[in-house]
Amino acid sequence: MKRPPTASELNLCLCHSCGLACDMTDDPHECPRCEAPLHRRKTNSLTRTWAYLFAALAFYVPANLLPVMNTMMLGNGADSTIMSGVLEFWEGGAWDIALIIFIASIAVPGIKFVALSLLLITVQRGSDWARRERSKLYRFVELIGYWSMLDVLVVALVAALVKFQALGDIEPRPGILFFGMVVVFTMFSAMSFDPRLIWDNAPDDEPLSDAPPQAAPATDGATPDPTGA
């Protein structure tokens, strides 16, 4: 497939902070426009992403096993975990709320673990399989990342509201700490991954020309021409 020239071929580097295409002939260490540090690729991307991912995975176990919340109603206390909260809504007939919590708290972190591991392994193997789709997968992971904070905020709000001593009291439990750590670490993990690694060492495609082509405007909703140009 023909493609536009890459930044490394033109000796340019993208500034992640202001988006300037920086000229790298003098090997500057920071962006001439916004003074943010410049890196051709994110530093130690693969190692860092793996490390954050494993940390998140370690926290994922207690996050799901430990109770996240304790509900005391008229003297009867009950601990609830993330999953029991989902089931409670499901059995109460509120399947839509159950689905929202399930997606945000259980499915999203799960998808992130699988997707990031897949991206890391394929990049390490130098695979040229489905590059475009893997790019899309990374953007999806970035997009859904922070929605898992949902449960933490629900517990915080509910615990702040129900404070009637003996009559009714809701308190957060340590599970929510581990759960929040999973969210924070998966976010760090996704941020440390450099999606450009997916496209490095692509042997099969050659630059269209040495001059960068004009970006082709497409109207929202319309399918863009995959060949570009």
Partner 1 sequence: MFPTQHLIICEHCDCVYEKAVLGKHQKTLCARCGGVLQRYNGLTVEQRLALSVTAGMLWLFANFYPVMSISMKGLKNSATLWDSVLALSQGPITFMAMVAAISIIIAPAFQLVLLIWVLSFALSARRAPGFKLCMRWLETLRPWSMLEVCLLGAMVAVFKLAGLLDVLPGIGLFALAVLSLMMIRIAGRDIRDLWDIL
Site for partner 1 in 151-180 (CB under 8 A): 151-164, 167-168, 171-174, 176-177, 180
Q: How many CB atoms lie within 10 A of CB 139?
A: 11
Q: Mask 109-148, x = binds partner 1 (CB under 8 A)? A: ----------------------xx--xx-xx-----xxx-
Mark the segment that binds partner 1 (CB under 8 A) among 51-59, 109-117, 119-127, 188-196.
188-196
Mark the segment that binds partner 1 (CB under 8 A) among 47-55, 85-93, 111-119, 121-129.
85-93
Taking each helix axis as running N to C, give the angle between helix 45-65 and helix 82-91, from 0 to 180 degrees, rounded to the nearest 10. Answer: 60
Spatial distance between the Cα atoms of 104 and 92, rounded to a whole number of angstroms: 19
| Closer of 32 and 110 to partner 1 (Cβ) | 32
Spatial distance between the Cα atoms of 1 and 5, rounded to a whole number of angstroms: 12
| Closer of 38 and 50 to partner 1 (Cβ) | 38
Q: Which two tokens stand for residue 44?
A: 């130690």
> 21 to 40, contacts with partner 1 by CB under 8 A?
21-23, 25-26, 32-36
User: Does 204 engage in binding with partner 1 (CB under 8 A)?
Assistant: no
SS3 140: helix
**How far, in Å, are 32, 62, 68, 142, 159 from residue 177 at the CA level?**
41, 9, 8, 22, 14
